[in-house]
Structure 1
Amino acid sequence: MTAEQPVAAHTIHTPRGVVWKGECPLAHSARTNPCRNYSTTSVSAAELEFGQPVHETHPHILKAGEITQGITAQEYADRRAKLAFSLPADGVAVLAAADLKYRSGAVFFPYRQESNFLYLTGFLEQDSLAIIRKTGPSLGDYDFTLFCRPKDPRAEQWSGPWSGLGAAVDVFNADESADINKVNSLLPQLLRNASKIHTDIVPNALTNFGSLMQSTGISTSPLQPLVNSLRAIKSPAEVANMRHAGQISGRAITSAMRRPWSYEKDLHNYLDYAFTQSGLSGPAYVPVVAGGARGCMIHYVHNTRALEQDSTVLVDAGGEYGFYVTDITRTWPVSGKFTPAQRDLYQAVLKVQRQCVSLCRASAGLSLDEIHRAAETGLRDQLTLLGFENLHKGDAMDTLFPHHVGHYVGLDVHDVPGYGRSVALKKGHCVTIEPGVYVPDDDRFPKHFRGMAVRIEDSVCVDDTAPLILTTEAVKEVDDIEALR
């Protein structure tokens, strides 16, 4: 393969709805230059190497038309159109790809694209910059320019393949592509005469993108609030990805409940393996595997201790599919059978969790904050029935239930950061519902519950009249848990 061969056999849908065979020379506009004046050699996309899976090279991973698993090129184009429509006249959105993170020396972590960049482009490579400019008043009136690395066979011999400028146009539907190494001279030209720049890039020692934008003298505003309003409401394709992740993750956690475990680390490793072995890309986050009183530490992730047979284990884990995650917490007895006190506390939390899940419907008109207040009231009532006293006084409830009942979930475990929990839930919002009770060794609380921790969490998609529980395969009824062994 020569550097920068045109991709001839990859049929794409441009943001304007035109269907054509990509044969553009690299670094040219797909819309204005359909390559009529260029003599090229047609090469099947299946014979080329890209920086990420495409359908022609990875039909076992991607369906025709998909850029990433479950998400089509058309959906990515529609997202850009909606973002551009929200910009002021001649407004520009500028997004930078994530930097490669190093663990130590030359050892790097697996690369993960910045979530907003991923959401709008589907492009998974570092050293990239996306420019989306509003060009008119109608939905779809925008230009999309993608700066990225040109093909470089010598560098790719060491680092593996990347996609190049031609694929930026032919595969990822950029109107124009440009060499990231020329960004200093080209970016100011692209931003000329813009009314406002919306970006979350700030000047720092690692990139000069922020400084380049400052040098234009054009006023800037944060981009994140505009993207959050889009990302917060999930499309049917996004919900399908999250449901698939929830289904596989739930089955893996239920499978783990069937087995006896002696060490937290063994249970942790089993879940990581089970997620990947069943077709997910892997764990969505570092799991909590907390035996006994360690469950009272909300984000305990050491996962190195032995598990006592008379205790419970609290597991907060979930897998990822197509970059969409699921978030599940289950608590179960290490021995396979609850003690009376464990059963009582567990059922108290479960009752409140079921009540709060039922409120995740658009017709209820409630926000996560309002559901949280319902969870606090419900837990206080249930704990009072179990003999807890004076829960209205001091910080008793903050001690027993110190975190919020839920958060948004999607491309990130804590999705759309900055998007308020006071927003009334609508169809397409995806959230977690995770009440918990963590009883410290404190004389204020009944002795037989001290050191116990119970959290029960499901990922839920809000619908009009009923919630869609994305993680229902993870069993949570007492009888079901005990029946597994």
Structure 2
Amino acid sequence: MRLARAALRQVHRPLCARSSSRRACIRSYATTVSAAELEFGQPVHETHPHILKPGEITPGITAQEYADRRAKLAFSLPDGAVAVLPSAELKYRSGPVFYPFRQESNFLYLTGFSEPESLAVIRKTGPALGDYTFHLFCRPKDALAEQWSGPWSGLRAAEDVFNADSAADIAALPSLLPPLLRDATRIYTDAPLSATAAPSPLASILRDLPLRHAPLPLSPQTNPLRAVKSPAEIAAMRHAGRVSGRAFTSAMRQVWASEHELHAYLAHAFAQHGLAGEAYVPVVAGGPRGRLIHYTHNSALLRPGETVLVDAGGEYGWYITDITRVWPVAGRFSPPQRDLYAAVLAVQRTSVRLCSAAAGLSLDAIHRAAEAALQAELERLGFDFGRGGAAASELMGVLFPHHIGHYVGLDVHDVPGYPRSVPLRAGHCVTIEPGVYVPDDERFPKHFRGLAVRIEDSVCVDEEGPIVLSVEAVKEVEDIEALR
């Protein structure tokens, strides 16, 4: 592996960039093997220049940005504290058939390293922003194992590509991790450590160490960092939104016989135009199935006279977009479909405009405003909410049973545990998705029963106003109908 390390020094020097307060990543080796001839566990610029630019660890995100993220996390911790992040593990569908691997989001956010059987340790070493060390445990190169399982990056690449201060064999964790943790003032980790959790080497190590304090959860430290997106993250999400939105618009132009056919088209369109694929299992729901919020069977026929509700999005560099559109299967809305759609669209437009740093509103506040606006729109269409109060609130809970939105980023529902009550600031990225789902219930006008409308965009909050990341997915009634 010495050749690989030497090659990376020559061609990957931009990847070794550290924050200005840290030492330069300069190593001395003597060889001329090109990194383009080597194999890694994920794309690097030299092997995949069509995916990564020089200096990038993942699409759009540079080694410097990953180093800065680790620095910010360490700076937020008490002196002498250590963050411990185990990777995700490979999940099996049945027998030896596995699901595509997806790295644990906090681990990915801080390292860019996308392999299982790994563990990252970030230790605060001083009071300045760049005072930290980064240790990465992972699998060493193994030619025989890689012949069967495909390549992985190994220990040298962990240092030279991913900028670990030290790298070690994950199999040596029981002997090498305790010295890194023994004198920590605090340990932060989201690893399951309870007695009922599945046994793991990390849990055993922490249980056997004479710790001063019980480990604390890490997510409260990472959530504020992840919630505010950098310009590079926003650019990645904008690209995902652009490609996904165009795929939606293209799909609206065509006639589809079944939900499955439409689903397959969108999945292909996302991948065909430079995205990694689907960001989540989509909803493709024809007619009354649109009332089922997370309907994912996507197997029924699509019938003229009905609408189809599609909640889908693509992924770029592990950053996702989340879009929902509704359109008529036959190309034109019926009068009730048009009226209900227009009501939801009016509320969606108003709610998107509230996503500005100047407004200072939280998602919860926008939800309350949207709920009031939606009730007013529905009353105009003949829905009876009585004199308001608890009864009206109950009816709105039936018609609009979910929140106006959620944070979006590396995860579809990003930064779990980060409250919706936080005032939105520049860099927050959210969805805005009002919806109305009318059951077959005598309390509601007959001609609207069975209809479902949800309109959703991914939106980034900016000082000057909202940036709609999915604007290429058309949503005006006239534009949708004109596509046919």
TM over 0.5: yes
* Alignment check: 8 A CA contact 2:3 2:33 kept: no
112-121 or 6-15, which deviates more: 6-15
Distance 1:322 1:13 in 2: 20
**Against the structure 1 CA distance between its residues 287 and 83, is the aligned structure 2 distance closer, same or farther, given a 3 Å change threshold?**
same
Verify: 1:210 aligned to 2:213, yes or no.
Answer: no
Query: % of aligned pairs identical?
Result: 67
Verify: 1:13 aligned to 2:16, yes or no.
Answer: yes
* Alignment check: 8 A CA contact 2:5 2:157 kept: no
Distance 2:223 2:429 in 1: 13
Distance 1:317 1:462 in 2: 21
The residue number in structure 2 matching 1:295 is: 290
The residue number in structure 2 matching 1:402 is: 401
Letter in 2 for 1:56: E
Distance 1:181 1:197 in 2: 21
Distance 1:13 1:154 in 2: 29
The residue number in structure 1 matching 2:65 is: 75
Q: How does 1:251-290 map to 2 (within 5 A)?
A: 251-290=246-285
The residue number in structure 1 matching 2:356 is: 361
Letter in 2 for 1:236: P
The residue number in structure 2 matching 1:228 is: 223
Give the CA deviation at 1:15.
2.4
* Alignment check: 8 A CA contact 2:25 2:163 kept: no
Letter in 1 for 2:443: R
The residue number in structure 2 matching 1:32 is: none
Q: For 1:371, what is the secondary structure of its paired residue?
A: helix
Q: For 2:93, what is the secondary structure of its paired residue?
A: strand
The residue number in structure 2 matching 1:113 is: 103
Give the CA deviation at 1:202.
1.8
Q: TM-score, normalised by structure 1?
A: 0.95
- Aligned pair count? 470
* Alignment check: 8 A CA contact 2:182 2:210 kept: no
Distance 2:347 2:369 in 1: 9
Letter in 1 for 2:240: A
* Alignment check: 8 A CA contact 1:4 1:165 kept: no
Distance 1:286 1:202 in 2: 26
Distance 2:19 2:234 in 1: 25
* Alignment check: 8 A CA contact 1:5 1:43 kept: no
Letter in 2 for 1:13: C
Verify: 1:435 aligned to 2:425, yes or no.
Answer: no
Q: TM-score, normalised by structure 2?
A: 0.95
Q: For 1:372, what is the secondary structure of its paired residue?
A: helix
Q: Deviation per CA, 1:254-310, whole angstroms, max 9, x where unpaired?
A: 000000111000000000000000110001001100001100000000001011100
Give the CA deviation at 1:92.
0.3
Q: How does 1:172-191 map to 2 (within 5 A)?
A: 172-191=162-181
The residue number in structure 2 matching 1:449 is: 448
Give the CA deviation at 1:390.
2.0
Gaps in structure 1 of 5+ consecutive residues = 24-34
Letter in 1 for 2:200: T
Distance 1:328 1:116 in 2: 24
Give the CA deviation at 1:214.
2.5
* Alignment check: 8 A CA contact 1:3 1:153 kept: no
Return the match for 1:351 from 338, 346, 355.
Answer: 346
Distance 2:27 2:290 in 1: 54
Return the match for 1:376 from 355, 371, 379.
Answer: 371
Letter in 2 for 1:457: E
Gaps in structure 2 of 5+ consecutive residues = none
Give the CA deviation at 1:235.
0.1
Distance 1:304 1:452 in 2: 19
Name the Cα RMSD after superposition: 1.4
* Alignment check: 8 A CA contact 2:173 2:201 kept: no
Distance 1:233 1:64 in 2: 25
Give the CA deviation at 1:483.
0.2
Q: For 2:358, what is the secondary structure of its paired residue?
A: helix
* Alignment check: 8 A CA contact 1:262 1:308 kept: yes
Distance 2:338 2:460 in 1: 28
The residue number in structure 1 matching 2:463 is: 464
The residue number in structure 2 matching 1:479 is: 478
The residue number in structure 2 matching 1:246 is: 241
